[in-house]
Amino acid sequence: MSVTLDSPLGALVGDRSQKAFQKAFGYTTVADLLGHYPRRYATRGELTSIAEIPPGEHATLVAEIVSVSTRSMRQKRGSVLEVAITDGTGLVTLTFFNQAWRQKDLREGARGIFAGKVGLYRGARQLAHPDYELFEDDPSEQAQEEWAKKPIPLYPSTSSLASWQIAKAIGVVLDVLDVSGEPVPDAIRETESLASLAWSLEHIHRPKEQDQWQKARDSLRFQEALVLQTALAVRRAEQKNVESVARTPGADTNAFLAGLPFELTPDQSSVINEIHEDMSSPHPMTRLIQGEVGSGKTVVAACAMVTVAQTGGQTALLAPTEVLATQHFRSLVKTLGPDMTARLNPVLLTGSLPAAVKKKALLAAASGASHLIIGTHALLSDAVSFADLGLVVIDEQHRFGVDQRETLRQKGRHPHLLVLTATPIPRTVAMTVFGDLDVSTIATMPEGRSPITSHVVALADHPSWMTRVWQRVAEEVENGRQAFVVAPAISPSVREEEHEEQEISPEEPEPRALATVEETLPLLQAVPELQSARMEALHGRMPTDEKDEVMSRFGAGQCDVLVATTVIEVGIDVPNASIMVILDADRFGMSQLHQLRGRVGRGEHPGTCLLVTHAEQGTLARARVESVASTLDGFELAAKDVELRSEGDVLGVRQSGVRSRLKLLRVTRDGDIIDKAKGYADEIVSADPTLAGHKALVFEIARHLDEDSEDYLEKT
């Protein structure tokens, strides 16, 4: 019988095991099982001696069985098998409930390795239901020596499938496996000194010494990177074959650019050029623009919209909140000027519009009367259709899933796509997760921006500093400036749900109540220096028109202090705002703090950001806040954020799927490998676009895509 990677598991490991693997991990094929790599390897050096094992910890022991006995349970029916083992330093009892059949393996004098959690039963240490593996009888000197060097794979296991059971099943499969092809082409394997797939699978699971599993792991990790990058390269190549309407700049584009009240920054100009180049080809553009808050992404997108409109097409601009959609709408109207506004007829489409207004907007989109349709999630509804959707713009992309992005794109015939993000994405993450998007960066800020100074206000060390914070706010207000005060919660009972990624630092077990908008406002009103200041609250629970009114009053300078949740996080532009106080700053993500403070210092006045925290010195929470205060570089912060988070957080769970597909590759650590793999992948795909000569690679790509298709990452 020839067993290959795509063989079903059942016949090999038996129906019962097969069911157990399917239930526990969803595995059905040989490839699935062999992709279950050890979590780590124990070596003899790491083994604990019985004398040392502390209760409550997991222990791996090498020992000899000294006695075996069965007794009935005292309270209920059934039997307990008790096995005493020793390693010469002490004695420990293994207990198995209702598993008397194990007696035939577990005999006096047998030696083996035993692993489990150490418990205490009537004062004596015991391992209940440990994993174990017995050694062959009487190992020779040499066998013992080999065994001493031999790493013991420890697998991610479940209560129904122990590590040793997994190892056993994998062993059965490896014994008969016939690996026919090599996913990584020979030439690349040679250049990179990688082992073959067959060798790697054998040695990641059954290494005889440490060097072997390391080499196996490196080879399989590279293979993973190559599979991922080739899948992305294929997708990029496919995009190039899709037909789309070319949109070339013309008179309107020029008029729009000439009418701008400012000079474009060099980065803005070059990104506009890239966009025009993309859109002038009859294939859809798929471009991500990343740039700091305030770097001027919107005007770049607006230019693309004008270009599309002048060729008769429509643009749908998707924004994450009503406040932001409304602001985009207003500023577009302003930037376009009366003449172009009349011709392009921008409309706003949000969930809270009165039915009649909504109907009019829907009609304008469907008939082609409007060339710019700006809205929130409401745009994704089935009721929305377009006459000629030429461009989809997604603002603040991390707020949206790939599905939502695609839903909107489906409403046109391969429209061009522009996604905007202010959350800097580490390069390797961009390459891995947004690998099918071209990335443009606006790295420089428009001139005339004043720098932001950030300070940590550590209330744990200086409780009295809060008074000083409010005095600083009052000073700004006296000078005619405006202030933001940000709190993580709306009221004592309601948190701001609109923003899911407010994180709770794991080490803090919800100690104090969080600062809330509803409680902070009266607190500020009671500050003597702020008696004459006009203050308002803003949060996601308010009706949309009320939110809009508050925002526009603040924008117009009719309100001095805005006490808000993170609804102000994205896109809000009030150049006169010069100070931001963030309460319980440790409750926000680092990138989020950075974006929040980007709301001040947008005009001629220098910005100040006060990060108020109760976190104690030396805690991770405090370190994160201090990191934010120490740099204005969003990319550096994103990188630090990545360091302080787990891989899963970086890739996001909701949208990613990537996490479950990547077993050995870590996008935050393996940048070099990803780089190399991308280069090779591009070569492979350009030489052989259908991958006809790469059967084994195609097999791995299909596996990779089947598990979770079409998904990328979300922001940090």
**Smaller CB separation from ligand ADP, 97 or 262:** 262
Asked whether position 265 contacts ligand ADP by CB under 6 A, the answer is yes
C-alpha span between 99 and 409 (Å, rounded): 58
Q: Which SS3 state, helix, strand or coil, does residue 580 take?
A: strand
Asked whether position 595 contacts ligand ADP by CB under 6 A, the answer is no
With CB cut-offs between 5 and 8 Å by kind, which of ligand ADP, Mg ion, none does residue 446 bind? ligand ADP
φ and ψ of 480, to 5 deg? 85, 5
Among residue numbers 429 through 448, which ones bind ligand ADP (CB under 6 A)? 446
Among residue numbers 402 through 441, which ones bind Mg ion (CB under 5 A)? none
With CB cut-offs between 5 and 8 Å by kind, which of Mg ion, ligand ADP, none does residue 185 bind? none
What track of x and - describes contact with ligand ADP for positions 383 through 422 (by CB under 6 A)?
A: ---------------------------------------x
How many helices (H) and strands (E) the chain has is answered by 25, 23
**Smaller CB separation from ligand ADP, 334 or 359:** 334
Q: Which SS3 state, helix, strand or coil, does residue 117 take?
A: strand
**Smaller CB separation from ligand ADP, 301 or 408:** 301
With CB cut-offs between 5 and 8 Å by kind, which of ligand ADP, Mg ion, none does residue 406 bind? none
Which of 341-349, 474-482, 563-571, 602-610 is the region at the interface with Mg ion (rule: CB under 5 A)? 563-571
Asked whether position 97 contacts ligand ADP by CB under 6 A, the answer is no
Instruction: Assess contact for 345 and 371: CB atoms under 8 A.
Output: yes
**Smaller CB separation from ligand ADP, 337 or 492:** 337
Structure tokens at 434: 């947004």
With CB cut-offs between 5 and 8 Å by kind, which of Mg ion, ligand ADP, none does residue 490 bind? none
C-alpha span between 504 and 516 (Å, rounded): 15
Choice from 165, 268, 290, 613 touching ligand ADP (CB under 6 A)? 268
Choice from 163, 295, 407, 608 touching ligand ADP (CB under 6 A)? 295
Residue 615 Cβ, how far from ligand ADP at the closest point, in Å? 28
With CB cut-offs between 5 and 8 Å by kind, which of Mg ion, ligand ADP, none does residue 299 bind? ligand ADP
**Smaller CB separation from ligand ADP, 257 or 691:** 257
Choice from 48, 200, 298, 407 touching ligand ADP (CB under 6 A)? 298
Asked whether position 293 contacts ligand ADP by CB under 6 A, the answer is yes
Which of 66-74, 249-257, 264-272, 344-352 is the region at the interface with ligand ADP (rule: CB under 6 A)? 264-272
**Smaller CB separation from Mg ion, 298 or 407:** 298
- Single-letter residue type at 408: L
**Smaller CB separation from Mg ion, 317 or 684:** 317
Which residues are paired to 319 by β-bridges? none
**Smaller CB separation from ligand ADP, 29 or 552:** 552
- Single-letter residue type at 680: Y
Asked whether position 571 contacts Mg ion by CB under 5 A, the answer is yes
- State the number of binding residues for ligand ADP (CB under 6 A): 17
What is the rounded (10 degree) CA torsion for 132, 136, 142, 147? -20
Asked whether position 501 contacts ligand ADP by CB under 6 A, the answer is no
Structure tokens at 321: 């909140």
Alpha helices in 163-296 (DSSP H): 163-176, 186-191, 197-205, 210-241, 251-258, 266-279
Instruction: Assess contact for 153 and 38: CB atoms under 8 A.
Output: yes
Instruction: Assess contact for 229 and 680: CB atoms under 8 A.
Output: yes
With CB cut-offs between 5 and 8 Å by kind, which of ligand ADP, Mg ion, none does residue 674 bind? none
Among residue numbers 286 through 325, which ones bind Mg ion (CB under 5 A)? 298
Asked whether position 297 contacts ligand ADP by CB under 6 A, the answer is yes
**Smaller CB separation from ligand ADP, 50 or 302:** 302
Residue 573 Cβ, how far from ligand ADP at the closest point, in Å? 5
Strand order in the sheet with 372-375: 347-349, 372-375, 314-318, 389-394, 416-421, 286-291, 438-442
The residue sitting closest to Mg ion, measured at its beta carbon, is: 571
Asked whether position 38 contacts Mg ion by CB under 5 A, the answer is no
C-alpha span between 293 and 569 (Å, rounded): 10
Nearest alpha carbon to residue 128 among 189, 58, 65, 73:
58
Instruction: Assess contact for 87 and 110: CB atoms under 8 A.
Output: no
C-alpha span between 285 and 61 (Å, rounded): 59
With CB cut-offs between 5 and 8 Å by kind, which of ligand ADP, Mg ion, none does residue 390 bind? none
Among residue numbers 145 through 164, which ones bind ligand ADP (CB under 6 A)? none
Which of 2-10, 46-54, 287-295, 541-549 is the region at the interface with ligand ADP (rule: CB under 6 A)? 287-295
The residue sitting closest to ligand ADP, measured at its beta carbon, is: 296
Asked whether position 313 contacts ligand ADP by CB under 6 A, the answer is no
C-alpha span between 560 and 487 (Å, rounded): 17
Under DSSP, the state recorded for 533 is: -
Longest dimension (CA), the chain: 95
Residue 279 Cβ, how far from ligand ADP at the closest point, in Å? 19
Asked whether position 591 contacts ligand ADP by CB under 6 A, the answer is no
Helical axes 695-707 vs 210-241, angle rounded to 10°: 80
Cα–Cα distance list, 54 to 10, 58, 92, 131, 511 (Å): 40, 9, 12, 18, 30
Alpha helices in 583-646 (DSSP H): 590-597, 620-630, 634-644
Asked whether position 424 contacts ligand ADP by CB under 6 A, the answer is no
Residue 405 Cβ, how far from ligand ADP at the closest point, in Å? 18
Residue 129 Cβ, how far from Mg ion at the closest point, in Å? 56
Within 13 A of 94's CA, how many CA atoms are on the CB side? 30
Structure tokens at 400: 């949206």
Structure tokens at 219: 């080879």
- Single-letter residue type at 29: T
Residue 546 Cβ, how far from Mg ion at the closest point, in Å? 23
Residue 575 Cβ, how far from ligand ADP at the closest point, in Å? 7
With CB cut-offs between 5 and 8 Å by kind, which of ligand ADP, Mg ion, none does residue 296 bind? ligand ADP
DSSP codes joined into one string, 221-245: HHHHHHHHHHHHHHHHHHHHHS---
Asked whether position 185 contacts Mg ion by CB under 5 A, the answer is no
- Neighbour-count burial of 703, counting CB atoms closer than 10 A to its CB (0-12 exposed, 13-18 middle, 19+ buried): middle
Among residue numbers 234 through 263, which ones bind ligand ADP (CB under 6 A)? 262-263
Instruction: Assess contact for 9 and 32: CB atoms under 8 A.
Output: yes
Residue 391 Cβ, how far from ligand ADP at the closest point, in Å? 17
Asked whether position 573 contacts ligand ADP by CB under 6 A, the answer is yes
C-alpha span between 673 and 675 (Å, rounded): 5
Structure tokens at 132: 């174990």
Residue 443 Cβ, how far from ligand ADP at the closest point, in Å? 12
Give the strand pairing for 482-486 and 561-564.
parallel
Binding site for Mg ion (CB under 5 A): 298, 571
Binding site for ligand ADP (CB under 6 A): 262-265, 268, 291, 293-299, 422, 446, 571, 573
